A and B are shown apart, each in its own frame.
Chain A
Amino acid sequence: MKKMKRFALAAFAAALAVSAVLVAGCAGNGGETKEAEGAAEKTEIVVGLRADGVDMFNAIKPKLEEAGYTVTTQVFDDSIQPNVALGEGAVDINWFQHVPYLNQYNESNGTDFVMVEPYTHYPLFAMYSTKIDKLDDLQDGAKIGLCNDDSNRARGLRLLEENGLIKIKEGVETPTVFDIEENPKNLEFIEAEMSVLPQSIDDVDAVILAAQHMFNAGKDATDFVVESSDGKDFPLGFVVRAEDADAQWAKDFATLAQCDELADCFATTYGGCLVPMWK
């Protein structure tokens, strides 16, 4: 995330200057048209998606059309352009990011995008094992595979802590294995690349990682030992420009998305790696 921030800063310093002018220009116009059209509801919506989100959007598209919206999609390959396009007005709403990323983006780009509530889903982060079925079965000296990147290693350790397996020093924001205060089960940690962990699952007692990587490796992402409870701190949802935060159409999008069709899509197409917020 931090790297993202720096990249975003560098790459869009120029774009920002341009969009600042645009926003200033559009703000005036936008205000006028809004007043002029008054209560006339906006029904033609352009949605910004990331390539991996097309399937989930197609799952809710019929619902949106039933509700009277004409929807066109704009697909992006990265995680920055959908926000840039939103800022420039090329799309009206986007659906690909989670709250921490949005906050980071807003902070480093001076934007004020808002995620419309209710949020739609969160990515599953969990402990997987081929040796144990429940945490109590974890033996003394068990080997735990952790991700070797900062934020995922920290989430893995937090998962162990919330299940009472270790105790982390107080006041540490992003803990590492060196911040473990108590380790009564003498767990041994192996830090490896997240993409390597799924295929090494048989060689350790458990691995803790994002479900997506299990799914990518052709494993059952829903067959976890225990799920991280902080999943809901990384909710994804529809994001709009500040002036649309209270628009009815934006609310409709977020509400209509909470349907069985989307839940089914998460369970099948996404292998259960994405978890609906409303269930």
Chain B
Amino acid sequence: MTLAEMGLGEIFQLLIVPAFFATLRMLVISGVLSTVFGFFLGIVLVITEKGGLCENAIINRLLDIVVNIIRSFPFIILMISIIPLTRLITGSSIGETAAIVPLTVACTPFLARIFQNAFKEVDPALIEAAQSFGASKPQIVFRVMLKESVPAIISGVCLAIINLLNCTAMAGTIGAGGLGAVALTYGYQNFNQEIMYSICVVLVILVAIIQYVGDVLYRKLK
């Protein structure tokens, strides 16, 4: 039986379910990694800026440029251009594991900006108050800035994860598989509308779930 003759159930079992888990693995691993990296990058960006906790114009400017450069790359070009780095880290330049590197690299600066913006919104008076109580810098960062900006961070991370999901679709170029790649090669290029639209439905549901979880967390923590 060929793909064209298969029913929806078989297509799901054979193609969509494995692709879904591939997408989910990429999403979770690179999502967590880029949130961690983005968090530290965002912190450094905020505390080194003018009037920040540890003002340092050089580091701030440098990181700012790096973040802007990475964010300027179209994802597909970024993926190809960092192949040596990808190979260094994962030992391969194609495949699902390899795709996690460019996904993380692409998403980290995006998240750094989200964290940076969230931290900036923290009322300066609050930080001053903490300082006057003799709070140390790490205490101010983690107990005041982070605590105060949690809701903004949650909705920002949610935004970034959905953006990341978009990127995983392009990771098919380097053989990562996943929903986007299957929709493109087995759906679109194969003129199999059934596969293409089933995947779109799955993606819509996935995005809805991510957004819903984000909204619930946001409301709870606000």
Contact = CB atoms under 8 A, between A and B. Distances in A.
Interface of A: 2, 143, 145, 148-150, 153, 169, 171-172, 176, 178-179, 190-193, 196-197, 199-200, 202-204
Contacts of A191: 172, 175, 177, 181, 185
A193 B77 CA distance: 13
A226 B189 CA distance: 27
B175 A148 contact: yes
Prevailing SS type, chain A contact patch:
mixed
B2 A200 contact: no
Given A148-B175, A191-B175, A196-B175, A203 B93 contact: yes
A148 B186 CA distance: 9
Nearest to B87: A203
A31 to B, nearest CB: 42
Given A192-B175, A193-B173, A203-B93, A149 B14 contact: no
Interface residues of B, number: 25
B87 A196 contact: no
Contacts of B174: 192-193, 196, 200
A40 to B, nearest CB: 50
A150 B94 contact: no
Interface of B: 1-3, 14-15, 80, 83, 87, 91-95, 98, 172-175, 177, 181, 185-186, 189-191
Contacts of A179: 2-3
B14 A196 contact: no
B185 A150 contact: yes
Minimum-distance CB pairs A-B, first 9? A192-B175, A203-B92, A190-B175, A200-B94, A193-B173, A200-B93, A148-B185, A203-B93, A192-B94
A153 B175 CA distance: 13
Contacts of A176: 3, 186, 190
Contacts of B3: 176, 178-179
Nearest to B184: A148
Contacts of A203: 87, 91-95, 98
Given A192-B173, A196-B80, A148 B181 contact: yes
A204 B174 CA distance: 12
Contacts of A178: 3, 14-15
A173 to B, nearest CB: 8
B177 A149 contact: no
Contacts of B1: 169
A204 to B, nearest CB: 7
22 contacts: A2-B191, A143-B95, A145-B94, A145-B175, A149-B185, A150-B189, A178-B3, A179-B2, A190-B94, A190-B175, A192-B172, A192-B173, A192-B174, A196-B93, A196-B173, A196-B174, A200-B83, A200-B92, A200-B94, A200-B175, A202-B87, A204-B94
Given A196-B80, A203-B95, 7 more contacts: A150-B190, A190-B95, A191-B172, A191-B175, A192-B173, A203-B92, A203-B94
A178 B173 CA distance: 19
A178 B93 CA distance: 24
Contacts of A143: 95
Nearest to B191: A2
A147 to B, nearest CB: 9
B182 to A, nearest CB: 10
Contacts of B172: 148, 191-193
Contacts of A190: 94-95, 175
Contacts of A149: 185, 189
B46 to A, nearest CB: 38
B204 to A, nearest CB: 24
A154 to B, nearest CB: 11
Of the listed residues A145, A172, A196, A197, the one surrounded by the most CB atoms of chain B closer than 10 A to its CB is A196
Contacts of B175: 145, 148, 190-192, 196, 200
B82 to A, nearest CB: 12
Nearest to B90: A203
Nearest to B186: A176
Nearest to A197: B94
Contacts of A197: 94
A2 B191 CA distance: 9
Nearest to A171: B2
B83 to A, nearest CB: 6
Contacts of B92: 200, 203-204
A175 to B, nearest CB: 8
A229 to B, nearest CB: 23
